[in-house]
Amino acid sequence: MVGRDYEQGGIIKHGAMMINAVSNSRVPHLSVLIGASYGAGHYGMCGRAYDPRFLFAWPSAKSAVMGPQQLAGVMSIVARQSAAAKGQPYDEEADAALRAMVEQQIESESLPLFLSGRLYDDGVIDPRDTRTVLGLCLSALHTAPVEGTRGGFGVFRM
């Protein structure tokens, strides 16, 4: 959801308010990654950067700082501008190979088993067990005090 229409519609302002609310809330956060979760949307929905008490992923989940095609496109733009600044011709074949390699790498490294193996989340769960797992998490939260929660809200800029 990037572009002039969304920006004029206030998506950036509302997204910033969402991130502010998540980062300053005092309740324990439980997150379940279900589908693709990239970039600021991932942060706004309490991704690992916001230290949720529990974060689980379904087998269908994907997570990365940027989507594979978007990252490959950004790298291509940077390389193209660098070649133009040096007055050198741009190698389109090398660009296509780089894009394919980046997309393949990000696609494989955004899968839930890869991320869980890197201890990014608390485990990959069967979607049918989601209610049970969240119930166990709520039970654990109920019996243990919440330490280190942030207090208050930051400044809301309208």
- Going residue by residue through the chain (158 aa), what tens digit of pLDDT does each one get? 556 776 666 777 777 788 888 878 878 889 999 988 887 777 777 777 778 889 999 999 998 888 889 899 999 999 999 999 999 999 999 999 999 999 999 999 999 999 888 888 899 999 999 999 999 999 998 887 666 555 555 555 54
Query: What are the start-end ranges of the E strands in 16-139?
Result: 30-33, 36-38, 54-57, 62-64
pLDDT of residue 157: 52
Residue 43 has what pLDDT? 74
> Which has the closest alpha carbon to 133: 124, 145, 142?
124
Q: How many angstroms separate the CA atoms of 107 and 124, rounded?
A: 17
pTM attached to this predicted model? 0.73
Question: What pLDDT does residue 131 have?
Answer: 97
Q: How far is residue 44's CA from residue 82's CA, in Å, rounded to a whole number?
A: 33
Could you tell me the residue ranges of all domains in the chain? 4-128
Q: What is the pLDDT of residue 3?
A: 62
Which top CATH class is 4-128? alpha beta
Identify the sign of the CA torsion 134, 137, 143, 144. Answer: negative
Distances in whole angstroms, Cα of residue 151 to Cα of each of 23, 64, 144, 147: 10, 28, 18, 11
Question: What is the pLDDT, as a whole number, of residue 54?
Answer: 92
